[in-house]
Amino acid sequence: MPDGFEPAYVYARVCGSLARSFLGDRAAALAMSHRVGEAWRAIFGEAPPALPEAELATAAERGVRARAIEALRDIAGPLLKSEPFFAALARKWEFVYLKSALVGIAERSPDAPVLEDPRLEPSFDARGYPDLDRMLRGTRYHWVLESGLDDLTAVKNRLDRQYYSDLWDSVETIPAGLVGTIPELLRAEAELGNLAWGLRLKRYYSMDATDIEGLLIGLEGADVKSPTLRALGFSSDSRSEWVGWKWEGLVPAARREDGGDWHFDVRGFESAARRYMYRRLYRRLHLEIESYVPLYSYFRIKEFETTALHGTIEGIKLEAPAAEIGAFAAETTGGRG
């Protein structure tokens, strides 16, 4: 058993933390906050700093991510550094920060983005900002120096794909008795991520399968692209073409607003995929207590929570209808459906 990993203790800590999280209906209830300051008080349990609404929203979003990082560090402890898999998993925040820094460089912003967690130690030289060469030379991100930032969307897409590739490679380092269903969970996550991305590119940008394939997540030795490539060949106006497809159970029963024939609802599919993945993670968390699955599931569920809180804060700032904010928060964290 790796140092610092006591299954029963970790499981109890995970369950206790999730009980206090903003998930499901508790996440949706935040939508009733009329000001960002009210949401701040509910989330952090303290009075908000005296900032204009827009700045307070930005600070709140940073605080939400920092809190998620701290929660994982508190429970995972030394595993974040001693175990390659958890180091690769937690590197998600490093990828997020790097993408923000690249946007800043491309926009010629003189100030580097703020690190949500002062204790976060990126594997690149963040102090070199905005000197891209100083930041990335000799790191896992050195390829950015060759590609440049002219097509920032393509760079960010490759970073997303790199994160999953690195994480998948690190699964091999998990001791056999602790790996559990992590490979299956990660494959499902990659497949559904590819589907959400691929179907969006087809629906909103009219891209074809040949162009989309190169933008999908790839995991060595695992086929996580074929369900997307097959779906890209289906007609969005023919429900019968989706019958028998691997993820048919997530296809929404959507109709055109004018009451006409069936039409594939990309956003509805994404919502169903989020609910599916959330519930699968939550179920495995409780079924595989003696493995690393509870920690992996916890990390992913905290990501769902972070996404929901960010969306809620942004919605309140923009004065969106409470019902819409609440529905987004609930469905993003496994509720309503």
Strand partners, 201: none
Number of other CB atoms surrounding residue 122 within 10 Å: 18
pLDDT of residue 154: 96
- CB neighbours of 318 closer than 8 A, spacing ≥ 6? none
- Whether residue 157 is contained in a domain is answered as no
pLDDT at 287: 96
Q: Using an 8 Å Cβ cutoff, are 300 and 276 in contact?
A: no
Which of 262, 270, 228 has the alpha carbon at shortest distance from 245? Answer: 228
Q: Does 298 map to a domain?
A: no
| 244 found inside a domain | yes
Per-residue pLDDT for 136 more than 90?
A: yes
The answer to whether 69 touches 116, Cβ cutoff 8 Å, is yes
Question: Is 158 inside any structural domain?
Answer: no
Q: Which residue has the higher pLDDT, 256 or 294?
A: 294
Report the phi/psi class of residue 45: left, alpha or beta, with left for phi > 0 and alpha for psi in -120 to 50: left
Q: What is the pLDDT of residues 269-309, one digit of tens each?
A: 998 999 999 999 999 999 999 999 999 999 999 999 999 89
Of 209 and 254, the one with more pLDDT: 209
pLDDT at residue 257 greater than cutoff 60: no
Residue 4 has pLDDT above 70, yes or no: no
For residue 302, what pLDDT is reported? 93
Question: What span, in angstroms and rounded, lies between the C-alpha atoms of 164 and 160?
Answer: 7
**Residues in CB range of 76: below 8 A, 6 or more apart:** 10, 86, 90, 295
Q: What tokens does 170 get?
A: 């690190």
Mean pLDDT, the chain, whole residue set: 91
Q: How far is CA 121 from CA 117, 193, 319, in A?
A: 9, 27, 36
Q: Tell me whether residue 66 is in a domain.
A: no
Q: 């983005």: which residue's tokens?
A: 113
Q: Which residues pair with 255 in a beta bridge?
A: 262
Helix (H, G, I), strand (E, B) or coil at 183: helix
% of the chain surpassing 70 pLDDT: 95
Q: Which residue has the tokens 């790796």?
A: 2
Q: Are 66 and 115 in contact (CB under 8 A)?
A: no
Domain annotation covers residue 336 = no
- What pLDDT does residue 6 have? 87
| Bridge partners of residue 222, in order along the sequence | 219
What is the value of pTM for the model shown? 0.92
- Minimal CA–CA distance to 188: which of 264, 266, 281? 281
Mean of the pLDDT values across residues 186-211?
Answer: 96
Peptide bond into 130 cis (omega under 30): yes
Mean pLDDT of the 304-315 span: 91
What confidence category does residue 3 fall into, taking pLDDT thresholds of 50, 70 and 90? low
Cβ atoms 220, 165 nearer than 8 A: yes
Give the per-residue pLDDT at 177: 92
Rounded CA gap, 125 and 114, in Å?
14
Q: Do 305 and 280 touch, CB atoms closer than 8 A?
A: no
Mean pLDDT (whole number) for 306-324: 90
- Within a domain: 258: yes
Does 335 have pLDDT greater than 80?
no
Query: Worst-scoring range by mean pLDDT, 12-26, 126-140, 207-221?
Result: 12-26
Q: Label residue 29 exposed, middle or buried (CB < 10 Å: 0-12, 13-18, 19+).
A: middle
Weakest-pLDDT range from 71-85, 90-104, 190-204: 71-85
Domain coverage including residue 277: 182-287
Is 42 domain-assigned?
A: no
pLDDT of 1:
57
**E strand or H helix at 188, and its extent?**
helix 182-205
pLDDT band at 236 (very low <50, low <70, confident <90, very high): very high
Handedness of CA 214, 219, 220, 224 (dihedral sign): negative
Tokens for 281? 């993670």
Task: Give residue 1's identity as a one-letter amino acid code.
Answer: M
How many domains would you assign to the chain? 1
